[in-house]
Amino acid sequence: MPEIPLHLWYGITSLGGAGLTLPLALAIALWLATGYSWRMAASWLLLLGASVGLVTITKVAFLGWGVGVRNIDFTGVSGHAMLSSAVYPVAFFLMLQGARTSMRIVGVLVGVAVGVAVGCSRVVLDAHSPSEAITGCVVGALTALVFVRYWWDAQSGRVSAAVVTLSLAALTFALHDVRVPTHRWVTNIALTVSGHEQPYVRARWKANRTTRSPGSPVSQPRHTAALSAQRPV
């Protein structure tokens, strides 16, 4: 990984938090419905919802039943990597409507690069294994690229690209580093549906031990103080 100060990695990882990316996704949907069509907005929410569902299923499967792939240290798709890889390319796509084709392509690629950077940050901060970050980036990028490809020729004269850009930038600035307890919610769902009292823990699972000691928390990254259970892992 590049030699980047730790506090910058924390700033990068915050770009993938659900407290920022989900409001951005909803704002994008609102602009799509207002400036284009409800079908365009609905397709965006449907694609993103399917990807969020996939992330949730993989996490619930591990936390509730210990379902994962040990030889690649995979316990669930990274939510940070998926959300950032899906939301930012579509945000740039929307902001650059009306621009030259080359600029629009570059904008989408920049959005994908943001998602990759967030995925790298999750590995650096020990929040995820490389396999989990990579799958998150792949799922998110596919979500964005499918949407962008399908709606590439959509045109609208009802919204100003400048207004859209300012609104999304202001939202990003206001909600950067806002945390929501998504991991806690997913853990509660996993325990409820599995009927277990404690979630599976990565370290014990990797050692091929399925018993969970009473009170054992879900595995935490090394930098626990900054990456609390408030963030999805």
What is the residue-wise DSSP string for 181-210? -HHHHHHHHHHHHH--SS---HHHHHTT--
CB–CB of 202/219 below 8 Å? yes
Q: Tokens for 33?
A: 């419905």
Distance CA 189, CA 195 (A): 10
Q: Tokens for 6?
A: 């730790």
Q: Rg (Cα) of the chain, in Å, rounded?
A: 18
What pLDDT does 156 receive? 77
What pLDDT does 210 receive? 45
Please, which residues have CB within 8 angstroms of residue 194's CB and are 6 or more apart in sequence? 63, 64, 65
**How many whole angstroms from its chain centre is CA 181?**
14
What pLDDT does 206 receive? 81
The pTM of the full predicted model, rounded to 2 decimals, is 0.86
What pLDDT does 131 receive? 97
**H helices of 68-150, where?**
79-95, 101-124, 130-150
User: Exposed/middle/buried for 139, CB within 10 Å: 0-12, 13-18, 19+?
Assistant: buried
Neighbouring CB atoms inside 10 A of 99's CB total 13
Going residue by residue through the chain (233 aa), what tens digit of pLDDT does each one get?
Answer: 557 889 899 999 999 999 999 999 999 999 999 999 999 999 999 999 999 999 999 999 999 999 999 999 999 999 999 999 999 999 999 999 889 999 999 999 999 999 999 999 999 999 999 999 999 999 999 999 999 999 999 987 788 889 999 999 999 999 988 999 999 999 999 999 999 999 998 888 888 754 444 344 444 443 433 334 344 44
Neighbouring CB atoms inside 10 A of 162's CB total 9
Closest CA to 118 of 86, 148, 93: 86
Closest CA to 86 of 116, 59, 60, 58: 116
